[in-house]
Amino acid sequence: MYQAAIVEDEEVLLKSTKELLATTFNEKNVDVAFDFFMSGAEFLPMIEQHFHYDIIFLDIEMPGMDGITVCRRIREIAPDALVVFISNKEALVFQTFEVQPFRFIRKSELSQMAPSLVSSIITELEKRKQQIIKIEEPSGGDVYSFDVRTILYVEAQRKECIVVTDGGMTTIRSKLMSLESALENCNFIKIHRSFLVNMSAITRIQKDSVLLKNGHELPLSRNLRETVKQAFLNHSMS
């Protein structure tokens, strides 16, 4: 099941948009769970807490914080989020380019465009499907969803792990071994007993440390250095 958010300040439009999109996804046999927000200020805390939305349908003209401003913040935290602007203000379409929306749809044409819009969303989500992982804490704890591409590294600290992404950090009650298993086929490598690193985030292998693209320098175990070095070289050439 995919997770979607609709951010729209007019309650009637919020309801009709949800009904239209839910019906269209159902007709294509795709399950989507929708959350609803009537302002950017109401919506952003979910993103800032790293709740993963596969699709975000976003109005532009809203009281307080406009949709483009909201999307700038989304891009800081979840740069690969699939954002669809729904607005009748066609003159604003060029202003949206800086935040790279997936689509810009006029509200007046949403009903007509819904089938093709939903088809293109499904196609894109299928491409991304293998890059989303869900991690569940033991004993029926919380479930976390991450886009693998945004994870830089995982650090083990006692009985918890800190997942460091492009957008921040999330603490999970789990052993590093469990996350290592979840990320087994996602180009992650163990560089130290306490660190698991995304090879796409590595910029340099040093004598006793690994330098990442965000500037962080992590310890590299001596007995793992050659394995990490060779894996990094293979990844760089693939």
Q: What is the reported pLDDT for 11?
A: 92
Supply the range of the domain harboring residue 116: 2-130
Above 70 in pLDDT, residue 130?
A: no
Q: What is the reported pLDDT for 74?
A: 92
Tens digits of per-residue pLDDT, 14-66?
999 999 999 999 999 999 999 999 999 999 999 888 788 999 999 999 988 99
Band of the pLDDT at 149, cuts 50, 70, 90?
confident
209 versus 167: which is more confidently predicted? 209
What CATH number does residue 214 fall under? 2.40.50.1020
Q: Do 13 and 115 have their domain in common?
A: yes
Q: What is the reported pLDDT for 217?
A: 97
Q: Do 16 and 115 have their domain in common?
A: yes
Q: Given 113, 130, 147, which residue is the final one in a domain?
A: 130
Distance, in Å, from the CA atom of 23 to the CA atom of 29, rounded to the nearest integer, reads: 10
Q: Do 228 and 142 have their domain in common?
A: yes
Q: How many domains does the chain have?
A: 2
Q: What is the reported pLDDT for 200?
A: 87
What CATH number does residue 8 fall under? 3.40.50.2300
Contact 74, 57 (CB under 8 A): no
Tens digits of per-residue pLDDT, 55-71?
999 999 998 899 999 99
Q: Do 8 and 112 have their domain in common?
A: yes
3-state class (DSSP) for residue 106: coil
| Cα distances (Å, whole numbers) of residue 230 to 6, 144, 153, 216 | 45, 31, 19, 21
Q: Given 81, 104, 130, which residue is the final one in a domain?
A: 130
Map tokens 């083990």 to a residue: 156
Q: Do 160 and 86 have their domain in common?
A: no
Q: What percent of the chain has pLDDT over 70?
A: 98
Above 70 in pLDDT, residue 108?
A: yes
Above 60 in pLDDT, residue 238?
A: no
Q: What is the reported pLDDT for 92?
A: 77
128 versus 205: which is more confidently predicted? 205
Q: Do 18 and 48 have their domain in common?
A: yes
Q: Given 130, 152, 183, which residue is the final one in a domain?
A: 130
Is 107 buried (19+), middle (13-18) or exposed (0-12) by CB count in 10 A? Answer: middle
Q: Do 29 and 119 have their domain in common?
A: yes
Q: What is the reported pLDDT for 1?
A: 84
In the chain the first and final C-alpha atoms are separated, in Å, by 32
Q: What's the whole-number average pLDDT of the chain? A: 90
Q: What is the reported pLDDT for 110?
A: 93
* CA-wise closest residue to 182 among 121, 138, 226: 138
Q: What is the reported pLDDT for 202?
A: 93
Q: Do 160 and 114 have their domain in common?
A: no
